[in-house]
Amino acid sequence: GRNWINILNLNRQTLDDIASNSSIQNINVGDKSLNELFIDYDDIFKDGLGCCKVKAHLYVKPDVMPKFCNPRSLPFAYREA
């Protein structure tokens, strides 16, 4: 995780640039083309935020404090000798 990100000198901007510079030329799913899938499922691929009609509730005790957790340690098998 974090150690490899530091070793490879990656940062959020670098990863975003990689994702934004990638392009896919042609996708076929079975007998349908990508455009046909966009048309068939236009409600999924429309711009903007989606709307979920399900209400969710999160019950938290009023005296609970947020807890910060340190990153998990690297397993011994992956550590350098």
Tens digit of pLDDT for each residue in 10-40?
666 666 666 555 566 666 666 667 778 888 8
Give the per-residue pLDDT at 63: 93
- Per-residue model confidence (pLDDT) at position 62: 92
**The two structure tokens encoding residue 56:** 């969710």
- Residue, of 42 and 16, whose pLDDT is higher: 42
Flag whether the pTM goes above 0.75: no
Confidence of residue 74 (pLDDT cuts 50, 70, 90): confident
Could you give the CA distance from residue 7 to residue 80 in angstroms, rounded to a whole number? 14
Q: Which residues contact 71 (CB under 8 A, 6 or more apart)?
A: 1, 2
State which H helix or E strand residue 32 sits in: strand 32-33
CA 78, CA 81: separation in Å to the nearest integer? 9
